[in-house]
Structure 1
Amino acid sequence: MAIDQYILDKLRSNLPFSPSSDQDIFFKALSSFLTGTSPIFILNGYAGTGKTTAMAALVGALAELNKEAVLLAPTGRSAKVLMGYAGAPAHTIHKAIYRQKAPASSDEGGFGVFELHPNRNKNTLFIVDEASLLSNTPGGMLFGSGNLLEDMVSYVFKGQGNQLLILGDSAQLPPVGLQISPALDPGHMEQYGR
């Protein structure tokens, strides 16, 4: 049995019901992604289509395959929801990728400055839910380069063999000041292909 078929079987068996035809298409594509060399996979689907449920099955399958997964979300609330569905720890992107560089001072409004943390994960799948919220426009320089999407991708691929699975809904509002979410735009994310 080919490894991608084995992964596909694990994905299906970790779903608490028979997958819909769309979920099965996703599982087949995901199995190929996990065994291939592509660094980024984008799953864009409307609310209620089963993205998070499928992702929970993926986390269960990865645990059975002894493959590491890191679950991330842009907000504390979305990380908590993700953790509830997946039954595995989830963190905000900020908590996972940044560390305080210097103690807070009045220059930074009492917050301090945060830099990109070294990524020690290898051969790990990073799963980012609610990615439609991620912006690629420079914000304040309190966090890394000030560009959350750029910093996140940079962090993920500092580790050898890491892959990035991005989940989101393009029907949700894009980041402030943008027409579309860059994290869900394959044309934009192509530039990060390694």
Structure 2
Amino acid sequence: MNNGRDRIIYKNLCENLGNVPTEDQASALEKIASYITDNSTGEIFLLTGYAGTGKTSVISSVVRTLDRLRMKSVLLAPTGRAAKVLASHAGKQAFTIHRKIYRQKSLKDGTGSFVLDRNLSRNTYFIVDESSMISNTASESSVFGSGSLLDDLLEYVYSGTDCRLILVGDNAQLPPVGSVVSPALDRMVLEGYGFGIIAAELRHVVRQSESSGVLMNATNIRLQVSEGRLDHPLLDCRNYKDVVRISGENLIEELSDSYGAC
């Protein structure tokens, strides 16, 4: 951190986190503090992390800190469900990206299409969760803007006066249909739009690390994949209530019992 204001903001971020930050979280919060104090509007902050590493806690801390500093923020997510989850954790209303950045054209033309709205915000941080879902592939059948959600999001945010963008997500999530990677979480893709990237990654699992067998196994497999040493997945089913070993002969019956009422 380069100055006293960085340190003050970092202290606020840590206080609003609600727990002692992990080493990864502390590093991310330091970078976020510097991002907030930097006046450059040509940069994007990219926060990635495994499931359970505290990304949502960091987002909530940023929102509360910005509120304390009387700075504005807008929470966005690709889907309505993701927006509701984000709002419940951050304690602040969240919108779907489509609802925020598009407006419907006049129905007189009979198309029912949506165009990019004007961003009238000033000095506002747009924080987008679940960014792995955002596609940059233009669809001819899309009725929204250019057809590329990532293109339209970037244009909308940075057309506002001194507005900035924080993209949050998990690279291990499935990318958008037709994409090999999640473009909104890919540094090279974002740099291709002409933006500088400040990135932080969370790797240390803090949520349910001891009680969740699903999270523990998912994290272990992910680490093995990243280190190139996964021949086949080995699952630890011991002492976890949420992981059960089922024989092949009982699988169909278990599936029927679990999903029969759906």
TM-score range, shorter chain: over 0.9
Structure 1 counterpart SS, 2:27: helix
2:57 is equivalent to residue 53 of structure 1: yes
Mark the CA change 1:148 to 1:104 in structure 2 (over 3 Å): closer, same or farther: farther
Residue in 2 that maps onto 1:121: 121
Instruction: Report the more deviating stretch, 125-134 or 36-45.
Output: 36-45
Residue in 1 that maps onto 2:36: 34
CA distance, structure 2, for counterparts of residue 39 and residue 163 of structure 1: 7
Structure 1 consecutive aligned stretches of length 4 or more whose deviation exceeds 2 Å? none
2:135 is equivalent to residue 135 of structure 1: yes
For structure 1, which runs of at least 5 residues remain unmatched after alignment?
none
1:119-158 deviation digits (Å, cap 9, x = unpaired): 0111110000000000000123410111110000100001
Residue in 1 that maps onto 2:157: 156
Q: How does 1:23-102 map to 2 (within 5 A)?
A: 23-36=25-38, 37=40, 38-102=42-106
CA distance, structure 2, for counterparts of residue 28 and residue 148 of structure 1: 30
Residue in 2 that maps onto 1:167: 168
1:99-123 deviation digits (Å, cap 9, x = unpaired): 0012287x64xxx110101001111
One-letter identity of the residue aligned with 2:81: R
Structure 1 counterpart SS, 2:135: coil
- Alignment length, in residue pairs? 190
1:43-98 deviation digits (Å, cap 9, x = unpaired): 11111110011110110001000010000000000000000010001000000000
Structure 1 counterpart SS, 2:17: coil
CA radius of gyration, larger in: 2
Structure 2 counterpart SS, 1:173: coil
State the TM-score, normalizing by the size of structure 2: 0.70
CA distance, structure 1, for counterparts of residue 190 and residue 20 of structure 2: 32
CA distance, structure 1, for counterparts of residue 194 and residue 151 of structure 2: 9
One-letter identity of the residue aligned with 1:103: L
One-letter identity of the residue aligned with 1:131: S
State the TM-score, normalizing by the size of structure 1: 0.94
One-letter identity of the residue aligned with 2:128: V
Residue in 2 that maps onto 1:147: 148
One-letter identity of the residue aligned with 2:168: L
- C-alpha contact 1:68 1:125 (8 A) present in aligned 2: yes
One-letter identity of the residue aligned with 1:84: S
For structure 2, which runs of at least 5 residues remain unmatched after alignment?
197-262
Structure 1 counterpart SS, 2:81: helix
- C-alpha contact 1:126 1:156 (8 A) present in aligned 2: yes
Shift of 1:39: 2.2
- C-alpha contact 1:119 1:158 (8 A) present in aligned 2: yes
Structure 2 counterpart SS, 1:41: strand
CA distance, structure 2, for counterparts of residue 16 and residue 60 of structure 1: 11
CA distance, structure 2, for counterparts of residue 145 and residue 192 of structure 1: 18
CA distance, structure 1, for counterparts of residue 78 and residue 107 of structure 2: 24
CA distance, structure 1, for counterparts of residue 73 and residue 24 of structure 2: 23
CA distance, structure 1, for counterparts of residue 126 and residue 155 of structure 2: 12
Structure 2 counterpart SS, 1:157: helix
One-letter identity of the residue aligned with 1:4: D
Task: Report the identity percentage.
Answer: 46
CA distance, structure 2, for counterparts of residue 43 and residue 23 of structure 1: 10
CA distance, structure 1, for counterparts of residue 63 and residue 78 of structure 2: 19
Residue in 2 that maps onto 1:4: 6
